[in-house]
Amino acid sequence: MAQKPSIPKGTRDFSPAEVTKRNYIFGKIQEQFKKFGFQPIETPSFENSDTLMGKYGEEGDRLIFKILNSGDFLRKADANAYEEKDSLKITSSISEKALRYDLTVPFARYVVQHQNEIEFPFKRYQIQPVWRADRPQKGRFREFYQCDADVVGSDSLWQEVEFIQLYDAVFTALNLKGVSIKINNRKILSGFAEVIGEQDKLIDFTVALDKLDKIGEEGVKKEMLEKGISEAAIAKIQPIFSLKGNFAEKVENLKGILENSETGRKGIEELEFVQNAIAEMPLQTSALDLDVTLARGLNYYTGAIFEVSAPEEVKLGSIGGGGRYDDLTGIFGLKNISGVGISFGLDRIFLVLEELNLFPPTVTESTKVLFINFGDKEALYALKAVQKLRRNNITAELYPESSKMKKQMNHANKREIPFVVLAGDEEMEQQRFTLKNMKSGEQFSVTPDELLTRLN
Amino acid sequence: MAQKPSIPKGTRDFSPAEVTKRNYIFGKIQEQFKKFGFQPIETPSFENSDTLMGKYGEEGDRLIFKILNSGDFLRKADANAYEEKDSLKITSSISEKALRYDLTVPFARYVVQHQNEIEFPFKRYQIQPVWRADRPQKGRFREFYQCDADVVGSDSLWQEVEFIQLYDAVFTALNLKGVSIKINNRKILSGFAEVIGEQDKLIDFTVALDKLDKIGEEGVKKEMLEKGISEAAIAKIQPIFSLKGNFAEKVENLKGILENSETGRKGIEELEFVQNAIAEMPLQTSALDLDVTLARGLNYYTGAIFEVSAPEEVKLGSIGGGGRYDDLTGIFGLKNISGVGISFGLDRIFLVLEELNLFPPTVTESTKVLFINFGDKEALYALKAVQKLRRNNITAELYPESSKMKKQMNHANKREIPFVVLAGDEEMEQQRFTLKNMKSGEQFSVTPDELLTRLN
């Protein structure tokens, strides 16, 4: 019986044009990853549940897609949970595997599992899909790709410098100018909490501060008050709301604000190291900026925090982010491995390039020439030429059936194939082809060699 | 608490060398797919369960990985099944989505769902992973890639010809010589069943015949007898066990065997068409052979059936297969769309190339030069050169920390990086670099331009 076909909400089919454009972005990112010395790894789509569960907080656990055990899975179901019909409690007894939620935890698992084969510092990149049972909405999907590059096994700040250069190299390669690479440092945020005497409210403080863009200064202060941060403390931190000027000027101001915090001063030192290096090796098309409100996944990050914004005119927000984490592999038993990494937001970058019309027209070009099929004898003559063209790197096709000429020409038009070849009795006799330019309508009688030259 | 990390059985982590080699194969296949005019699509990793269930037989249904519904899934569980603790019966009420089992059914779903956007005949390729809850064993995985190319919307035999050329083009590009492309036709098999008067036992007959390679002539006959095919019928079909000679000679023999079957004669005609075309356009490195025992997924196929074997010396069996199917999209309500397609077995091809040592050594080359880090001042000098090299397409790295020289040189050795650059006070003063060839041990003092030239 016929079913009306559809796909699960939050997932997507990608058409040829979409796949080709996405691959163009992947290709540019991958090319730079490689040039910077990153090596690819791939991990399985699903992991043992205990590898993933508990790593992303309670909300994260809920958003992880669980895979039902095979066979008679109810036989091993937790008896109490079954009795109580408790979905949450029964899950671990009927599902042992789960789809990966990000690439970071599987990477940490990979590093620990393969630590004896890995030569540290290990620079790896990984471009694979991840799955989240999020409520689907515009621009938020249940299956999407992540493109990550990380270095583990060294705490050198040169890596922060290189990641900024890497971002710049990728966006330059994509011809996307005006990208803003914002940097902050967890130690700056810790310093703020320290100087206002609210170390124990660091998370609440930074979560509120991170919203400055969205809810404004008053909104941030209101949220801080609600979280129990005193008015006096907020007054002390007032200067950070009005940090102005370029990177160096902001840093000078920070030095005043954080002069009594050792951690804060260390943060400033790290920021200055990175800024000085970039000043010595100017970026090509992106700009580096200091944004002390940037917090992102603070629980993770221990040093630098990155966020990359699309050019302002497109209003698409973050197209990448990352930072330094000092103990990611600790959850799997390998301590004291510092890491730093960045990721690229493929879907957002796609929208930005689309909006700014930055996909080169050649990206979606496919077949260059279609040979019209006039019957078996002519088709054989044509296919021999098609074969020769392909072996010379030209994408060529023979229309598979000897349909009406008009239908075949329409096919070429609809697929935007720029050239058509017609070869009937006359052409075959003369060992020639009639080449038609579909745009101009011009026709030429050509020899096999000329055909190759004209299409090359 | 530390967990001992592992991955689910039947899945794999891929190291940088493995990913790179796999990508080499994907790249060669993709290049030829494109050259032949195939366009890429991608479908979601999971489909609605009713898209997949019932399409692969009972065994297939069991092997499909089901995804547990999110939230309080037990609330909607089928009450009777819950009462009876019936795992099989409860599944559809607690799982609405499933991981794709192959690329063919999702492709059929795609074609039907997007029929109004598609210009037929539609040549698509798709390279994505699939998942099967098979018992893991040597060479059989629960997650693996399929690489498929199909044409839908035309029943022209020129497509069979082109798929043979496509196989030949890919294996030639991989430098894998001696591949055997075996062809059969469902109509030949139907013809056999017809001439022996056992049409209703066609499946049993062909399933047995397909095992000739493995169990030999006596084994096949024994199985046929067991399935209720009469001795007289088997005697009639005796000549097919001793078909000898080249393609044309086998066809001549078949003409005798099948002279009384119209379907069989049609099958011969189709085989001859393909064989004649290939004779006119000889294959580069593969050989086309007729194998009348070939059945593969007979339920599917209605015309040509392909199977590709690795060169005999590697004994790895099938590295690809395919065939024509006349009503794949019918299950989703779109009738009378003929299709034909082939697929490449990535994992097997990988093993074949590995065994025959056919991966070019350049495939796994990554970083070309490592700059030794002697401290921040020197590192900045080095990183400026690194940046210049990268912008000239040379993969270069700076060791991130100013560790002991020996440790850094060891790192270069372990990663098989062929060149190292040393630049300390003296080099910086002279605006030069010391370039060391790690294989020969030779060292050269070079200018920045010479550095570029030597590494290019």
Element (H, E) at A248: helix A247-257
For B32, nearest residue in chain A (alpha carbons): A390
Assigned domain for A55 exists: no
Gap between the Cα atoms of A171 and A32, Å rounded? 10
B29-70 pLDDT, tens digit per residue, is 999 999 999 999 999 999 999 999 998 888 899 999 999 999
Q: What integer pLDDT is reported at residue A138 of this predicted model?
A: 84
Which residues share a beta bridge with A129?
A: A145
Whole-complex ipTM? 0.95
Which residues share a beta bridge with B446?
A: B433
Q: What is the CATH number of the domain that holds B381?
A: 3.40.50.800
- Name the band, by pLDDT with cuts 50, 70 and 90, for residue A93: very high
Gap between the Cα atoms of A120 and B401, Å rounded? 12
Q: SS3 of B150, please? A: strand
Q: Closest partner residue to A280 among B97, B121, B380, by Cβ?
A: B380
Q: Please name which of A68, A65, A48, A59 lies closest in space to residue A8, comparing C-alpha atoms.
A: A65
The answer on pLDDT for B421 being more than 50 is: yes
Q: What integer pLDDT is reported at residue B249 of this predicted model?
A: 94
Question: Structural domain tally of chain A?
Answer: 1
Q: Which of A88-92, A188-192, B1-5, B11-15 has the lowest mean pLDDT?
A: B1-5
Task: Taking residues A97-102, report their average pLDDT.
Answer: 97
For B43, nearest residue in chain A (alpha carbons): A13
Which residues does chain B have within 8 Å of residue A379's beta carbon, measured at their own beta carbons? 158
The answer on pLDDT for B300 being more than 80 is: no
- Look at phi and psi of residue A308 and say left if phi exceeds 0, alpha if psi is from -120 to 50, else beta: beta
- Name the band, by pLDDT with cuts 50, 70 and 90, for residue B1: very low
Which residues share a beta bridge with B130?
A: B144
Assigned domain for B434 exists: yes
Task: Mutate one of B1, B3, B269 to test the A interface: name it (highest A CB count within 10 A).
Answer: B3
Q: For A426-438, give one letter per residue: b (16+ CB within 10 A) or e.
A: ebbeeebbbbbeb
Gap between the Cα atoms of B442 and A56, Å rounded? 51
Task: Taking residues A14-32, report their average pLDDT.
Answer: 98
Q: What integer pLDDT is reported at residue A136 of this predicted model?
A: 85
Residue in the structure block whose two tokens are 């973050």: A318
Judge residue A35's burial from the number of C-beta atoms within 10 Å of its C-beta, 0-12 exposed, 13-18 middle, 19 or more buried.
buried
Assigned domain for B215 exists: no
Compute the mean pLDDT over every residue in chain B, rounded to the nearest whole number.
Answer: 95
B66 and A67: CB-CB below 8 Å? yes
Task: Kindly give the interhelix angle for B262-280 and B158-173, rounded to the nearest 10 degrees.
Answer: 50
**What is the interface size between A and B, counted as CB pairs within 8 Å?**
284
Which residues does chain B have within 8 Å of residue A124's beta carbon, measured at their own beta carbons? 16
Gap between the Cα atoms of B288 and B167, Å rounded? 10
Instruction: For residue B389, give its domain range.
Output: 366-455
Assigned domain for B397 exists: yes
Which residues does chain B have within 8 Å of residue A159's beta carbon, measured at their own beta carbons? 400
Task: Mutate one of B100, B363, B401, B413 to test the A interface: name it (highest A CB count within 10 A).
Answer: B401
Element (H, E) at A247: helix A247-257
With a CB cutoff of 8 Å and minimum separation 6, the contacts of B229 are: B196, B198, B201, B204, B205, B208
Task: Mutate one of A1, A9, A19 to test the B interface: name it (highest B CB count within 10 A).
Answer: A19
The answer on pLDDT for A127 being more than 90 is: yes
- Cβ atoms of residues B319 and B179 within 8 Å: yes
Q: What integer pLDDT is reported at residue B296 of this predicted model?
A: 79
Q: What integer pLDDT is reported at residue A296 of this predicted model?
A: 78
For A77, nearest residue in chain B (alpha carbons): B85
Gap between the Cα atoms of B230 and B235, Å rounded? 9
* HSE-up of residue A287 (Cα within 13 Å, Cβ side): 13
Q: What integer pLDDT is reported at residue A230 of this predicted model?
A: 92
Task: Taking residues A71-91, report their average pLDDT.
Answer: 96
DSSP secondary structure string for all residues of B25-79: HHHHHHHHHHHTT-EE-B--SEEEHHHHTTSSHHHHHHHSPEEPPSSSGGGGS-H
Q: What integer pLDDT is reported at residue B11 of this predicted model?
A: 97
The answer on pLDDT for A447 being more than 60 is: yes
A397 and B39: CB-CB below 8 Å? no
B74 and A51: CB-CB below 8 Å? no
- Look at phi and psi of residue B335 and say left if phi exceeds 0, alpha if psi is from -120 to 50, else beta: beta
Gap between the Cα atoms of A105 and A329, Å rounded? 8
- Name the band, by pLDDT with cuts 50, 70 and 90, for residue A1: very low
Assigned domain for A389 exists: yes
Assigned domain for B449 exists: yes
Whether the upstream peptide bond of residue B121 has omega within 30° of 0, thus cis, is yes
- Name the band, by pLDDT with cuts 50, 70 and 90, for residue B392: very high
Cα–Cα–Cα angle for B1, B6, B10, rounded to 5 degrees: 155
Assigned domain for A226 exists: no
Q: Closest partner residue to B158 among A94, A383, A415, by Cβ?
A: A383
B119-163 pLDDT, tens digit per residue, is 999 999 999 999 999 998 888 899 999 999 999 999 999 999 999
Between strands A369-371 and A396-398, the pairing is parallel
Assigned domain for A172 exists: no
Q: What share of chain A is helix, strand, coil (3-state, %, to 5)?
A: 45, 20, 35
A194-242 pLDDT, tens digit per residue, is 999 988 998 889 989 989 988 999 999 999 999 999 999 999 988 998 8
Residue type, B134: D
Between strands B143-152 and B180-185, the pairing is unpaired
Gap between the Cα atoms of B294 and B227, Å rounded? 19
Element (H, E) at B262: helix B262-280
